[in-house]
Each structure stands twice: as structure tokens, then as C-alpha cells.
Amino acid sequence: MLKVTKNAPQMAIIQLGEAFKNFFAGRAKYPQFRRKGIHDRFTLTNDQFSLDGSHLPKAKNQGAVGVDLGVSALAILSTGKLPIPGPKPHKALLGGGRVSRSLSRKVKGSANRHKAKAKLARLHARIANIRSNSLHQFTTNLTHRFHTIGIEDLNVRGMVKNRHLARSMTDMGFFEFRQKLEYKAARRGGQGVVADCFFASSKTCSNCGHEIETLSLSVRHWTCPGCGAKHDRDVNAAINLKNYAVSSTMSARGGESAGCRRKTTAKPAPAELCQRIPRVYPTR
């Protein structure tokens, strides 16, 4: 009750009372519960919001967040909370490839091969649907909670060449995540800031800005030699992405210069959107 405005439950009770008055007066049928997701609404008083033309100003509680994508977990947020697990549907449903091997053993052109091929196609369609649904829920939650979202421009094409990580990376759907995040942020009036793939998010201390020379993938925790701060590799990267997004947004609005960085426009969102998301790249 404390997390929402008092007007929402109050007006719901008042409107329910009006509905019962109309029912007993014979002007309407017995009140029915509204179905979730159909004509959802709530009530606010005029002192709790304002209009800028025909738009609501951005909410004060929607701040910035950095999102570091990973293989063991889908994402780690700069808020420091628990990692966001990925569904990994390909690994969970295909397993050791039993369905694929069953298809390869069938005689070409036979009815059994046709059935096995259709079964494998349905399985892959289910895998794609599970992955897409998970990414939809995560990106929707992010764009609802935060206005500025910092992510990293991952070189997925080059990373999948690593045969040890290729299946796990494609199972997470990094490209689909970025695609959904971009158009949803634009739809809600937010901003997605994409850091260049050479941005040293993991090797830079989020406390003092000191950058170490090397940091192998097996090292998950490290101590900054400059200030002595202890870092979790993924959380530190997410915090750096958040700081990068905030500083880039400040520069785009005419604030102080963010250093040797240049502004470019992001890949356009879908055709129904009239906004573009700024992408900021550091020069090397």
C-alpha cells in the first residue's frame, strides 16, 4: 500500500460504490471484476503530476543503470542486486542432441525422416519462444524502472568464434536483447547509451578510474592498485557502464565535455517510433 499513491485504491472503492448504486437502481448490471491487461487504469490527483504539452515529464525515481551481459547469468545490474539468470532454453531442451541425432539416422525422403524433421523444428520454435519471452520480460522491466540504460556494444560475431563459449552466448540472445531494449526505451521516452566494444568496463576501477593493463576472463574479483577498492568483475563493469551513460547523456544535453568522445546516432528504432536513441563512442 505504501508503494502506490493513495488515490488508486481510494478511487477504486469509490467507483465500486457508484457501480453498486447503479446496480440497485436498475441502471446497470451487477459489477464485474476487470480483467488484467484490458483497459488498465488508475487515478491521480492534479498535485501529483504535471503535463508538458501532451506528455508527462520523466519520473524522478527513474534513474540510470548499467547492464553487463554475461554467459553464466544473462545480466548483472549496477544496482548490485543478484544477477539476472538466463533461461538457457537451448541447453535445457536440446540437451545432448538426441533429437538431432535421431533425425540424422532417418532415411532421406522417408516418412519417419519427415516426422523427425518436424519434431526438431517444433523444438527449435519452442526454444526461440522461451528466449524471446524471457528477453521481453527483462527489457520491459528495465525500461519501466530506469530512464537511462548503459550497455556495451559487444562484438558477438567475433565472440562466437570461441568454440567453448559460442553455444552459451547464442543461447542468451545478446543481439535480441539489445534490439528489444533500444525500441522499448525509445517508446517510453528513455535513452539507451551504447558504449564502444573497446570501452574497458571490466578493467577500470569504478571508484577512482584507474585502469589495469590485463584482466583474464577467469579473474572474477580484483583489487584496484590505485585506491585499494575490491571489485566484483561484473558489478564493476555494470557501474562503469552506468557512469558512462550518465556522463554521455549530460554531454548530449549541453553539459560539460565528457572528454575525447564523439556523438553518433543509434540504429533507428522500428518504423512506428519517431525517436532515436543516442549512441556515444569514445575515440581511440
Q: DSSP secondary structure string, the chain?
A: -TTS-THHHHHHHHHHHHHHHHHHTTSS----PPPTTSS------GGG---BTTBPPPPTT--EEEEEE-SSSSEEETT----B----HHHHHHTTTHHHHHHHTSPTT-HHHHHHHHHHHHHHHHHHHHHHHHHHHHHHHHHHH-SEEEEE---HHHHTTSTTTHHHHHHHTHHHHHHHHHHHHHHTT-EEEEEPTT--TTTB-TTT--B-S---TT--EEE-TTT--EEEHHHHHHHHHHHHHHHHHHHHTT-S--SSEEEEEPPPPPTT-----EEEEE--
Catalytically active residues are 68, 152, 234
